[in-house]
Structure 1
């Protein structure tokens, strides 16, 4: 039976500082490695980025074929959370199991912060996957905002595959970098040139990361619950925008919450002396750019504007008023006086306190 020390490419190990399982010795990292060489490291490209992209692109092909067969572009939405969580688990546990390591041993080899990070990512992805699946089943048809795109000539050819599915596979590869870099690379490969492990990050950094995750997760969960409740009350009289609860803070609290969740991951790595490559920060940046400028609030509001113009002029006026009154993504200073700001922040503080108490 292979032991946890038999993992291919593993560095020398020492007892983990935060729980059972091995920890890579910081002394084995290459202190002379520069930032530029780390960013352009062919070894990391080969061992981490390309395998990760291969997984996401393969899943995207399957989602594309399913979408083309059913004429439902929302198959990419099913893949978004599930594919990224699958990648993280494959990198952390699955690939070792495929090499003959028992699953229990592969899990035990992870440090406590690594297990917590993987669990948090799974909770985020599981909630979002449930949300996507539930809405899809309730609708019984494709997401309305995708209908205009599907009417374009030849959409389900290369336009959909390259412009939508494969593009999102690239973003998924980037967004999962904090996990693929952590679990796929050895200490020697990652180097120590930038925010290296072993530099002794302040203890409060880890707590702050957990707090940001807790606040973000609370925000996106409340946003979905409050929106569903509003829609249930508005059946047959759909002339108003949801402005209650966290929707009074920003127009897209679900996207803001998602961004906060992903910002917390590299910060948590740093707070636990596990952030040892600058590319790990690119995950949260890629997620933010996608939410703001590609598949998030920009796309959503453009389709809303078009749909309301054609179908509901009263709601269009209400939507334009909402745009003037409330910021799109980041809250304004007036949010300080909004009770929902403090409810969300309080949940973040509670999450940080709970994690510290469990240490």
Structure 2
């Protein structure tokens, strides 16, 4: 996060933090897997499995965010951070940006990765939960990756011929399939590395995926993005018939 903050100051763009978000989790999972290989009481096979899962998720997310920043936003600031801060780092002040964005996300990142780190030092006492967690993780990655791809295909269509609002595919059932998928990924990892280590580890780390879900829904994700989206033509009607987070059948008008 410190390196990302330095880069954000150079580019005068806070959205750099989104690339560091996914990439940082990959580094945490890698370090945890290495530690698990050195600890007698650990389960190295599970730690390396978690690393693969986190690397697939975090690597895809970092790549997607970087491509979106270059293509969709044209190198400009992400509207969410422009709304949150009220201006670029050069105007707001880097101290404020670091405290409100980079420091906050760094602490949250460390906390959310709790199951990954705790699980690396413990045995997989409840190992049947490992495959269950992988399934939940896979559902999350599917929603996140497919949702992003469907949205990119929609934006590639000519504005004159495409619908006002993206309401096809997964977006017909949830207004934010990518955020829902993000939450599922971390509940899956909690099942694999947290609860899979026994009820004590599961209880200690259950707030980690809960915090992730809270942040992507109430703080940096759904709620913040909806403020901008509700101003676009057709979106209020779409919101009235479509679930905000959990996929559900569309409501009748």
Match of residue 31 from structure 1: none
**2: distance between equivalents of 1:265 and 1:249?**
24
**1: distance between equivalents of 2:124 and 2:237?**
49
C-alpha spacing 1:269/1:144, structure 2 compared with 1 (3 Å): closer
Q: Does 1:134 align with 2:50?
A: no
| Runs of 4+ in structure 1 over 6 Å off | none
Superposition deviation, residue 132 in structure 1: 0.8
Paired positions, count: 243
- List alignment gaps of at least 5 residues for structure 2: none
Q: Deviations along 1:27-63, whole A, 9 cap, x unmatched?
A: xxxxxxxxxxxxxxxxxxxxxxxxxxxxxxxxx2222
**2: distance between equivalents of 1:230 and 1:174?**
35
Superposition deviation, residue 267 in structure 1: 1.1
State whether residues 178 and 266 of structure 1, in contact with CA within 8 Å, keep that contact through their aligned partners in structure 2.
Answer: yes
- List alignment gaps of at least 5 residues for structure 1: 1-59, 97-104, 188-195, 309-315, 336-359
**1: distance between equivalents of 2:170 and 2:80?**
23
Task: Find 2:55's aligned residue among 96, 102, 122.
Answer: 122
State whether residues 251 and 326 of structure 1, in contact with CA within 8 Å, keep that contact through their aligned partners in structure 2.
Answer: yes
Superposition deviation, residue 276 in structure 1: 4.5
Match of residue 7 from structure 2: 66
Match of residue 329 from structure 1: 245
Structure 1 length normalisation: TM-score?
0.61
Task: Find 1:300's aligned residue among 200, 208, 225.
Answer: 225
Q: Once superposed, what is the RMSD of the aligned Cα atoms?
A: 2.7
Superposition deviation, residue 282 in structure 1: 2.2
Match of residue 158 from structure 1: 95
State whether residues 197 and 276 of structure 1, in contact with CA within 8 Å, keep that contact through their aligned partners in structure 2.
Answer: no
C-alpha spacing 1:72/1:275, structure 2 compared with 1 (3 Å): farther
Match runs of 1:232-243 below 5 Å: 232-235=156-159, 240-243=164-167
Rg comparison, structure with higher value: 1
